[in-house]
A and B are shown apart, each in its own frame.
Chain A
Amino acid sequence: MAGEPYQVDRAQAMIASPIASADWLIVVPVVLPIICGALLLMFRHRMRIHAFIALAALALMTGANALMLRRVLADGPFSMTMGGWLPPFGISFTADVLGVSFALVGSAVAWICCLYSLCDIDRTGRRYGFYAFLMLMMAGVNGAFLTGDIFNLYVWFEVFLISSFGLLILGSEKAQIDGAVKYAILNLVATTLFLIATGYLYGTFGTLNMADLARKVGGVSETAPLMTLSALYLLAFSMKAAAFPVNFWLPASYHTPRIVTAALFGGLLTKIGIYALLRSMILIFPVERAAYSMPIAIVAGATMILGALGALAQSDLRRMVGFLVISGVGVMLSGLALGSEGGLAGMAFYALNSMVVMTALYVLAGTMRVAGAGFSLQELGGLYRARPLLAAIAFLLILAAAGLPPASGLWPKIVLVKASIGEGAGWLAASILVSGFLTTMALGRVFLLAFWRPANVSLPVVAVPSLPLAVLLLLLLPVLLVGLYPEPVIAMSVSAARGLLDPSAYIQAVFPQGGG
């Protein structure tokens, strides 16, 4: 406090050197949506400006993330510690290739979803604050991807969770409240486990800074209860990611909200669980992850096969896509089970691909409802003749989701299959391929029934608005581009995996002098 009678040596606790302007880029993707969310709350009744503010903010966030990605790919990770306190006392935000690439794709997908919301969210939805919730959720999502402090990660989990409750019940239908209760309770159990584990972690290490934990964990492995700690984190984050025994909240809730909300959730939220698993299990608990390798592999295999079987059994399009999200989570977890550079790169690549493809599938379901009669495969039909462009888009998206060429889904699966054969886990490679086959069957069924089968009742001829088709094409563009030219993304994923496996650059970014 100014004017205090005693003097303290601030250099022991505070950052003395000035902060470069370029480092401020790291708070933009978090602070900008908070400011815009606050503005939208204040101008709740000016509903015309909501969408434009949200679109502009999401575009700026995507731009900031893209600039950061260029920087971390060229110069390695960088960090800023809030409030001027030295790490590990201040909360660090640390940008590395993994976090920034997830944040970039997440923001871009959210921008496209926001574009789609123009035709999906009516005045009531805007008055209830769809765009304000969207902004606050994106603050939470970006915060989770960029933070370098594990307790702060918990805070961002809560931020996006609470905003996602608001998005889920937009419309206040009975089914939505029912889905939201299941989603809320089970996610709160997961975050509570996360919080318990974090308290335990702090009691063991006396620090919550991820870089600090990564460099201290080697020194205490003889005495600290690291297996328990890593098991708690594994359970909590697997629940978030919707891995097999703890995935039941996802099919119970994701079919109830507006299609744009489901697209956002299916695209982004489970990937935050995957990201948190990568951060905690690889950066902090690499030895324990190796010990849990077999259980993780079994969970991964069960998740991908049962998710795909669940998709095969559904006749409601939205429920089916929900199960496909789960199946994709299983494929990603197989990378965690392997733990090799190839496995982790495949996992990161698959997660980025899945953000785009799962969002696109939900948007496709929404568009098919407008074009056809509903979400049910029993009622849909005759879309191939009536909507050839939609059929073409749907066909390419089905290839992307099933992991077939020429779409981008092929490459991460190749990386993962190659890595699992390299590690001698042939059965894991086989289950990835079988789940891909089952996904192809499930989605082929959609194409067969909804598109090729002649319409059994004369459908009301509704003109499909051009906006959903434009949104689908926008989502399809990166899928096809990466499918045809995957090298840059593969190189980026490998760089992300290396950054996790060898955290010295990450630690160096947070502790430049090696002190603390």
Chain B
Amino acid sequence: MKTLIFRTAAPFITALMLLFSVFVLLRGHNDPGGGFIGGLIAVAAFAVQGIAFGVPVVRRALYFHPMAIAGCGLLMAAFSGVLSYAFAVPYLSGLWAAPSLFGVTVDVSTVMTFDIGVYLVVVGAITSIALSLEDREDG
């Protein structure tokens, strides 16, 4: 789309939306949000970038093929359940650790890695669909 205003604003919108998607992903543990909705926001960001600058630009920026991102997410989600095996708890049990980084305690858990996996699956799968639809429109 050759609108000067949109082309100027698009990178800022995309960057903001991506940042917001990560925020929604991480707050999702105790508040509304999570991997699925965060992933959708990220897809919207890539779609905006695609409308402004064309699909090849987005594909270059992503570097990995969207389906590979989805596969990576699926792998991450599956393995966050497999970790339970080592602790003799059922598959997909939430396991927590609170490592201290420079005096700041950070809660990390398999619940979070699972949610990041969901985020990546949604980003990969829906970006793949969105980009091929936008591709058709151009060609």
Contacts and interface: CB of A to CB of B under 8 A. Distances in A.
Interface in A20-43: 21, 24, 27, 31, 34-35, 37-42
Contact of A44 (B68, B74, B90): B68
A3 interface: yes
B90 A90 contact: yes
Contacts of B65: 44
Contact of B89 (A19, A31, A34, A40): A19
Interface string A39-83: 111101000000000000000000000000000000000001111
A18 interface: yes
A15 B90 contact: yes
Contact of A41 (B67, B79, B88, B93): B67
A42 B81 contact: no
Contacts of B130: none
B71 A38 contact: yes
A129 B29 CA distance: 33
Given A2-B96, A3-B98, A38 B75 contact: yes
B90 A38 contact: no
A84 interface: yes
Given A37-B74, A41-B70, A19 B98 contact: no
- The 4 A-B residue pairs with the shortest CB-CB distance, nearest first, are A41-B71, A18-B88, A38-B74, A42-B71
Contacts of B29: 1
Contact of B92 (A40, A83, A129): A83
Contacts of A42: 68, 71-72, 75
At the interface, is chain A mostly helix, strand, loop or mixed? helix
A3 B107 contact: yes
A182 B122 CA distance: 27
B28 interface: no
Contacts of A2: 96, 98, 107
A35 B91 CA distance: 14
Interface of A: 1-3, 15, 18-19, 21, 24, 27, 31, 34-35, 37-42, 44, 80-84, 90, 129, 132
B67 A80 contact: no
A35 B92 CA distance: 14
Contacts of A40: 71
B70 A27 contact: no
Contacts of A84: 89-90, 93-94
B82 interface: yes
25 contacts: A1-B96, A18-B88, A19-B88, A19-B89, A31-B78, A31-B81, A34-B74, A35-B74, A35-B79, A37-B71, A37-B74, A38-B71, A38-B74, A39-B71, A40-B71, A41-B70, A44-B67, A44-B68, A80-B91, A82-B93, A83-B91, A83-B92, A83-B93, A84-B94, A129-B67
A90 B91 CA distance: 11
Contacts of A132: 71
Interface string B114-128: 000000000000000
B3 interface: no
A21 B98 CA distance: 27
Contact of A31 (B71, B91, B98): B91
Contacts of B96: 1-2
Contact of B90 (A41, A83, A129): A83
Interface residues of B, number: 27
B30 interface: yes
A19 B72 CA distance: 28
Nearest to A32: B78
Contacts of A1: 29-30, 96, 107
A18 B89 contact: yes
Nearest to B91: A27
A126 to B, nearest CB: 14
Contact of B94 (A27, A38, A81, A83): A83
Nearest to B70: A41
A37 B78 CA distance: 11
Contact of B75 (A35, A90, A129): A35
Contacts of B12: none
B85 interface: yes
Contacts of B74: 34-35, 37-38, 41
Nearest to B93: A84
Specify which of A18, A41, A44, A82 lies most central, judged by the most chain B CB atoms within 10 Å of its CB. Answer: A41
Contacts of A19: 88-90
B58 to A, nearest CB: 18
B90 A80 contact: yes
Contact of B85 (A24, A38, A41, A44): A24
A40 B71 CA distance: 8
A24 B30 CA distance: 29
A39 B74 CA distance: 9
Contacts of B81: 27, 31, 82
A83 B67 CA distance: 28
A95 to B, nearest CB: 14
A80 B29 CA distance: 25
Contacts of B88: 18-19, 21
A38 B74 CA distance: 6
Contacts of A34: 74, 78
Nearest to A2: B96
Interface string B23-59: 0000001100000000000000000000000000000
Contacts of B91: 24, 27, 31, 80, 82-83
Nearest to B96: A2
A37 B121 CA distance: 13
B68 to A, nearest CB: 5
Contact of B82 (A21, A31, A38): A31
A1 B72 CA distance: 26
Nearest to A81: B90
A321 B72 CA distance: 39
